[in-house]
Amino acid sequence: MTEATSVRFATDDEIAHWDELIEQNPDGGIMTSARAMGEIKRYDRLTPRFLVVEGAQTVYALAHEGAVWLGRYWYIPLGPTCDDLEGMVAAMREFGSQQDGLLAIKVEPHLLRSPELIARMEAAGTVRSRDMQLLTHTVVLDLTLGDELIMQFQKKLRSSIRGAENKGYRIETIEAHEATEHDFVRFYELLKTINGGKGVAAMREFAYYRLFWGEFAKTRNGRFYFGYDDEGTEAQAAIFVTLAGRTAVYKDGGSRPSRAIAGGAALLLWRAMQDAARDGKTAFDLCGTPRPEQMDDETHWYYGVGQFKKKFGPVVSYLPSFDILLRPIRHRLWERVVRRIEWRIKPGTDALR
C-alpha cells in the first residue's frame, strides 16, 4: 500500500538547518532549493515559503510566493522531486487549497524529461507550462568519477586545459564568506566585458549579484575562482560556484576577450569540479544551455555559451514547469484579462506564465 503524501510548512528548526536537510532530498538538493535563494528572491518581491512534503520520501522544498491583484501564487523551482509524482501533486493541491487566496502552485520536479513523466504529471491534473529555469536544459557532470571525469570532455578541451596548466595559468580561490567588496566589484566588471561589452546574457544590475553572492557567503555555500594569464594583478577570467545541496552549480562567469594563455576559463571550471568532488558533491551543473534542438542555432541568445559548455558533456533536459490550479476561475480571469493590465502598470516576476 502506498504511503499517503502530505505537505506542511517547515518548522523554525528545520529552516535553521535547511541546507543540511535538502541534501536528504531524493535529488540531493541543488542551488535553487538553498536557503539563500529565499532571501535573494525577496529582491524580486517574492516571499520564501519553506515546505516539507512527507510520504514514502521526504522532500524539503522552497517555494517563492508572489502576489498579484487577484491573489497569490507559489513557484517551486526544480522541485518537489520524488518518485510518487501523483501523490505529491495531490498533496500540494490539498495543502494549497487551504491557503487563503492562493491561485496556483507551479512545480518542476527535477527529473530527466520523458514523454512518460510528462504524461503522468498531466494525468495527475496539472497544466503544462513553459520552461522557467535556465537549468532545465543543461550539462551535468558526474563528480563521482573523480579525476577520470576529464576523459569525458572533448579531446580539444582536455588539451586546452592541460595547455593552460603547462603555460602557468594561475588560479586564485576565494571562499565566498572570505570575499571582499572589491572581489564582488572586480567579478562584476569581468561579467560586463563579455559579448563585446554588452555583458552576459540576461545580465542584471550589480546590486542583485552583490546580494546573490552575499547570501551564499552567509551560508558558506559559495566559492569564487579568479584566473590570471600573466604576472599582473588583473584577473583574466572568474567564475562563481554554488555549493548548496549535493550538486555544485557554475552560476556566474566572466572573462576579458584578450588573453595571453588560452584555456583559462575551462581550467577554472575543472579546478572547481575537483574541489566540489573533494567537498563531497556528486554532480556539477554548468547552469544552462539552449534546448538540445537549438544548440547549433547561431541566432540563439545563448549560442556561444552553449557551444562552450557542450565541450564538457552532453546536454540533458529536465521536466518543464506544471501548474496546479487551485482556483481555476479566478486564475483564468487573471490569465486572460487582468495579467496584461497589471503587468503594464506593475512589472514583476511572472511565474504564473
Banded model confidence at residue 232, pLDDT cuts 50, 70, 90: confident
Banded model confidence at residue 194, pLDDT cuts 50, 70, 90: confident
Task: Return the pLDDT at 172.
Answer: 98
Banded model confidence at residue 70, pLDDT cuts 50, 70, 90: confident
Q: Which residue has 491557503 as its cell numbers?
A: 99
Task: Return the pLDDT at 335.
Answer: 79
For the ranges 130-134, 145-149, 240-244, 286-290, which has the lowest average pLDDT? Answer: 130-134
Task: Say yes or no: do domains 6-132+320-345 and 137-316 share a fold.
Answer: yes
The residue ranking higher by pLDDT, 198 or 234, is 234
pTM, full prediction: 0.94
Q: Are 193 and 172 spatial neighbours (Cβ–Cβ below 8 Å)?
A: no
Question: What is the rounded distance in angstroms from the CA atom of residue 197 to the CA atom of residue 210?
Answer: 20
- Identify the three-state secondary structure at position 143: helix
Q: Is the pLDDT of residue 247 over 50?
A: yes
pLDDT by residue (tens digit) across 262-320?
Answer: 999 999 999 999 999 999 999 999 999 999 999 999 999 889 899 999 999 999 999 99
Query: How many DSSP H helices and E strands does the chain contain?
Result: 12, 14
Task: Return the pLDDT at 349.
Answer: 58
Q: Which of the listed ranges 120-129, 256-265, 324-333 does the model predict with the highest average pLDDT?
A: 120-129
Query: What single DSSP character describes residue 233?
Result: S
CA distances (Å), origin 43, targets 31, 40, 309? 17, 6, 29
Task: Return the pLDDT at 2.
Answer: 63
Task: Return the pLDDT at 1.
Answer: 45
CA 212 to chain centre: 12
Question: What is the rounded distance in angstroms from the CA atom of residue 36 to the CA atom of residue 226?
Answer: 23
Q: Are 57 and 26 spatial neighbours (Cβ–Cβ below 8 Å)?
A: yes
Q: Are 265 and 226 spatial neighbours (Cβ–Cβ below 8 Å)?
A: no
DSSP string for residues in 50-95: EEEEESSSEEEEEEEEEEETTEEEEEETT----S-HHHHHHHHHHH
Vertex 259, ends 258 and 263: CA angle to 5°? 130
Return the CATH number of the domain spanning residue range 137-316.
3.40.630.30
Q: What residues does each domain of the chain span? A: 6-132+320-345, 137-316
Arithmetic mean of pLDDT, 42-56: 97
Mean pLDDT of all residues belonging to the chain: 94
Backbone dihedral region for residue 167 (phi beyond 0: left; psi -120 to 50: alpha; all else: beta): alpha
Which fold does the domain 6-132+320-345 belong to in CATH?
Aminopeptidase (3.40.630)
